[in-house]
Chain A
Amino acid sequence: MNRLPLAGVACLHCAALLLFTHALTAAAGTNVAGTVKITGAASNADAVVYIQNAAGTFPAGKSVTMDQSKMQFAPHVLPVVAGTMVKFLNDDPTAHNVFSPDNEKFNLGTWPQGQTKDYAFNKCAKFPCVYTLLCRVHPEMEGYIVVLQNPFFAVTGKDGSYAISGMPPGSYTLAVWHSKGKAQPKPLTVAANKPATADFVLGR
Chain B
Amino acid sequence: MFSMPLIKAMRAAVIFLVLLGLTASSAYAVPAFARKYQTSCQTCHVVFPKLNAFGEAFRLRGYRMPGETEEMVKEPPVSLGAPAYKKLWPRAIWPGAISRTVPLAVNIKMADVNTSTLNDDGSVTHVNNDLQFPQEANIFGAGTLGDHVSYLTEVTFGENADSSVSVELEHARLQFDSPFGREDLFHFRIGKFAPNLVDGVQEMWISTDAAIDSMFAFNPVGVNGGTGLAEDTSPAPISLPDRIRGIEGYGIIAHRALWVAGLANGIGPGADGQFDGNNAKDVYARFDYKFGGMGLDGDTRGAAIPDKNWRDNSVRVGVFAYRGDGSKINFPFTLSDGTTQNIQDLHFVRTGVYASAFYQDLNVFGAYLHGTDSLQLFADDAPAGPVFEPDYKAWFAQADYVVYPWLQGTFRYETVTPGDRSAPTLKTGVFNVSALVRANVKAMLEYQRDLRQGQNHSLNALVRFAF
User: Which A residues have a C-beta under 8 Å from some C-beta of B?
Assistant: 39-42, 101-102, 132, 134, 139-142, 180
Contact = CB atoms under 8 A, between A and B. Distances in A.
Given A101-B84, A101-B87, A134-B85, A140 B79 contact: yes
A139 B83 contact: no
A139 B81 contact: yes
B69 A134 contact: no
B316 to A, nearest CB: 30
Given A139-B93, A140-B80, A42 B71 contact: yes
8 contacts: A40-B72, A42-B70, A42-B73, A102-B87, A139-B82, A139-B92, A140-B81, A142-B82
A204 to B, nearest CB: 9
Interface of B: 69-73, 76, 78-85, 87-88, 92-93, 95
A141 B312 CA distance: 44
A40 B71 contact: yes
A134 B84 contact: yes
Main SS of the interface on chain A?
A: loop
A46 to B, nearest CB: 13
A180 B88 CA distance: 18
Contact of A41 (B71, B81, B88, B92): B71
Contacts of B92: 139
A134 B93 CA distance: 13
Contacts of B76: 42
Q: Which 9 A-B pairs have the closest CB atoms?
A: A40-B69, A142-B82, A140-B79, A132-B84, A139-B81, A42-B71, A42-B70, A41-B70, A101-B87
Contacts of A41: 69-71
Contact of A40 (B70, B83, B93): B70
Nearest to A40: B69
A140 B82 contact: yes
Nearest to B83: A142
Given A42-B73, A140-B80, A180-B70, 19 more contacts: A39-B69, A40-B70, A41-B70, A42-B70, A42-B71, A101-B84, A101-B87, A101-B88, A102-B87, A132-B84, A132-B87, A139-B81, A139-B85, A139-B92, A139-B93, A140-B82, A141-B82, A142-B83, A142-B84
A111 to B, nearest CB: 19
Contacts of A139: 80-82, 85, 92-93, 95
A72 to B, nearest CB: 11
Contacts of B88: 101
Given A101-B87, A139-B95, A134 B82 contact: yes
Contacts of A140: 78-82
Contacts of B84: 101, 132, 134, 142
A39 B82 CA distance: 20
A42 B88 CA distance: 26
A134 B82 CA distance: 8
Give the most central of A40, A132, A139: most B CB within 10 Å. A139
Contacts of B71: 40-42
Contacts of B69: 39-41
B97 to A, nearest CB: 9
Nearest to B95: A139
A61 B72 CA distance: 39
B178 to A, nearest CB: 15
A65 B67 CA distance: 38
Give the most central of B82, B83, B95: most A CB within 10 Å. B82
A134 B131 CA distance: 59
Contacts of A142: 82-84
Contacts of A101: 84, 87-88
A102 B87 CA distance: 9
B399 to A, nearest CB: 39
B92 to A, nearest CB: 8
A180 B87 CA distance: 15
Contacts of B83: 142
Contacts of A39: 69
Nearest to B84: A132
Contacts of B95: 139
A150 B197 CA distance: 60
Contacts of A102: 87
A76 B76 CA distance: 17
B85 to A, nearest CB: 6
Contacts of A40: 69-72
A200 B363 CA distance: 45
A59 to B, nearest CB: 30
B73 to A, nearest CB: 8
A156 to B, nearest CB: 16
Contacts of B85: 134, 139
A180 B83 CA distance: 11
A140 B93 CA distance: 11
Give the most central of A41, A140, A141: most B CB within 10 Å. A140
A84 B382 CA distance: 84
A189 B85 CA distance: 40
Contacts of B87: 101-102, 132
A96 to B, nearest CB: 13
A139 B146 CA distance: 14
A11 B158 CA distance: 60
A134 B79 CA distance: 13
B268 to A, nearest CB: 40
Contacts of B80: 139-140
A98 to B, nearest CB: 12
A39 B70 CA distance: 9
Nearest to A140: B79
A132 B87 CA distance: 10
B83 to A, nearest CB: 7
A142 B71 CA distance: 19
A130 to B, nearest CB: 10
A78 to B, nearest CB: 15
Contacts of A141: 82
A139 B69 CA distance: 23
